[in-house]
Structure 1
């Protein structure tokens, strides 16, 4: 292992990206902006040139969220509605989920989110998939 090479590369990466541990909301906002930029670039998807970097950044964000952001207990559709309100989004702003009609059915409870839709929401909002998974009722 060539630690001097790693040290120099790490310093250069930090200068370019600002990547590093998240200690506060300013760091958090910086990492979310980096994750958003990676998604918008189209290079963060499966097999994308920067998918590894996106994975690292998403992990940092998720760890910080788990320790510092308490989300209320709510159904997946309530969580989707919450994120829509927080980000000023409408039902037509979710092509990754489906048409406006599909989003409407999810919000009304007539349809559940599928795995692909949940993965898209996790990537978009940088939150745990648990927020969008319908709890299973115990069988009696």
Structure 2
């Protein structure tokens, strides 16, 4: 494949097809080098044209709770009063900086996700 910057969706799809063809190429070979460069070009195109937005903070908390097998009552120790947890989880109260820090520390959710508007 003629390696060049990927500018269109058609070129992107062609690059993905070629990547599949040479996916098992051995490092240090011509195809191995092509695989490495093609991966970089595809990654660049995807980050510019297929960027994935960060998740909603509350949905991220719910997802993490599900992963850890936690229930809403378990957030009382992290956020505070049961009523406050309920308000936050039902979008009636915004997360405070203190809550964000505590959730980040306890649930390992990136602060970049928690500080978003919702």
Superposition TM-score, scaled by structure 2 size: 0.49
Superposition TM-score, scaled by structure 1 size: 0.42
Instruction: Identify the structure with bigger relative contact order (alpha carbons < 8 Å, sequence gap 6+).
Output: 2
